[in-house]
Amino acid sequence: MEDEDEDGNDNASMTLQGEGTLTTFEIDDEESEVSEGEEDVPVMRLTMEAENGDIEVSRLAFELTADNNVQNQEDEPWDAFEEVSLWIDGDKIASFDASDEDEYLNDDAGTESFRFSNLDLILEEDEEVEVLVAVSVMNSVDGADVTDAAKWKIEPISVRYFDADGVATTEDVVGEMTAGDDSETFDIEVEGVDDGADLEGSSNTPDDNTEVVDEDTDDSDEYVVHVFDIEVDNDSSDLEVGDVYATTTMTNPNGTDIDGQEDVIDGIFMTIDGETVEGEAVNSGSLSNDTESATTTSGGGSTSVVYLFEFDQDVVLEGDEDYEVEISMVFKGQDNDTNYADGVTVVTEVNGSDWEVEGSDSDNELEGTDTSETLTLSSADVDVTNYGWTSPDAGTFLDFKFTVEANEEDYDVLLADFAYATSGTATTTGPVLSRTAGDATENVAGSDYTVENGDTATFRIRWNLNGVNGDTFDVTATSVAGRTIPDDEEVSPTVIRNVN
């Protein structure tokens, strides 16, 4: 077992201090399963420490054998492994060609041993050093698809080191330096058995908001409407992305039907890992429906259209990685309300089970769903803020307040643009719209005001409760002045009728 590094410490006296000895050599497990074709998977961690001075580790010897407790279909390491390597802090410091039978040091008992020589690994006194032992497995290993038929054991058998004076020491590791943990066992699994990924929501997805569209025929800017994540499983092989889908649901609160989503959406795009693909409408409602578009009826009607994005395996998702996915849209102009009017809403939804995400062992490895927040379209560039519910007299009134600032042109605040639903036993008078502060021109009492460009006004929508003592009244509001009301301001406090 002696080799050319017997005197390989010529420079050690220049860098090492003291008469160091190796006093710690601990073995811990890392990964217990390695897939066919995987590279540089750590299966063992070595912890070494020197005392009474520094040392230079020049050689480590190992055995790599099929587990004797099972009947491996493949029991020659050179037919199962491409490489064994040593790593420190993410850097590969040594490698052994495990596929070459002639490189092994076979003993009389047939044990397949090998060694890393000329390591020049410095252990400073009282400083622990961790070394990962990693394996790279061949693409096809007999028995990898059979339970308990591809178990392997790796075991360190000796370590050789020099002290500051160049004195060489060779230690038998097993039984002398290890504290009972002499080896580590791991399985070789068929490639793709652990493939998988999850589609999950992202905190980066836009909240409910309103995007500005042109009142004539110009297209809008490109708006990001939905952001979600794909988290690839730790042990997954690379996954190729093929055809994927997103469903867009459009709701029309206005008085005129929309002929189809193509009258509103000029383009829809999906971006995964820097690759952007434009979507194509393939049907309406579900993948089993071949209708490409449908009328979005007035007064709250909605339609759903499925869009196809053909990535053609140009995007590869790597194991143990997270990817952020964006869906963006460009909207057509309203064409003076002939296409659509303010208040149309858009929501997108993705279902991983409909996507073609191909791993090594199956066609679809993606699970999970996610839905965007609501996007409202409006031609008016206005800011709506300070939403809130108040009840000046809890037994008499219920008020909803908001502030409107017109940025580019005059804006009409209409009671008819306030979308809401009520519940409870109380009857009410109203609602009535009024201005409580700021600059706005009253056009029709209780229902119509104009905020001129550059002005700001605060409004109140009031219900006056009627009925008997104890009657209740609740309101759930969804939009006002062409803007979606935030989730935390949608629901009113419950008002209980108090007859004095």
For the chain, which residues make up each domain, given as ranges?
4-189, 197-378, 382-496
Residue with tokens 């160049």: 166
Say yes or no: do domains 4-189 and 382-496 share a fold: yes
Q: What is the pLDDT of residue 146?
A: 60
Q: Please give the C-alpha separations between residue 69 and each of 73, 153, 185, 328, in angstroms, as whole numbers.
A: 13, 10, 11, 56
Peptide bond into 77 cis (omega under 30): no
Q: What is the pLDDT of residue 293?
A: 60
- Report the distance separating Cα 116 and Cα 58, nearest Å: 8
CATH of 382-496, one of 2.20.28, 2.60.40, 3.90.25, 2.30.30: 2.60.40
CA-based torsion, 13, 17, 20, 26: positive or negative: negative
By the 8 A CB rule, do 366 and 197 touch? yes
- Report the distance separating Cα 19 and Cα 51, nearest Å: 8
Residue with tokens 């992305």: 241
Contacts 24+ apart (CB under 8 A), 167-176: 167/19, 168/6, 168/9, 168/58, 169/21, 169/22, 170/1, 171/22, 171/25, 173/25
CATH of 4-189, one of 2.60.120, 3.40.50, 2.40.160, 2.60.40: 2.60.40
Residue partners of 90: CB distance under 8 A and separation at least 6: none
Total Cβ atoms within 10 A of residue 424: 17
Q: Is the pTM of this model over 0.75?
A: no
Segments in the chain below pLDDT 50: 1-14, 108-109, 289-290
Q: What is the pLDDT of residue 2?
A: 41
- Report the distance separating Cα 289 and Cα 247, nearest Å: 13
- Report the distance separating Cα 291 and Cα 285, nearest Å: 8
Q: What is the pLDDT of residue 3?
A: 47
Question: How does DSSP classify residue 125?
Answer: B
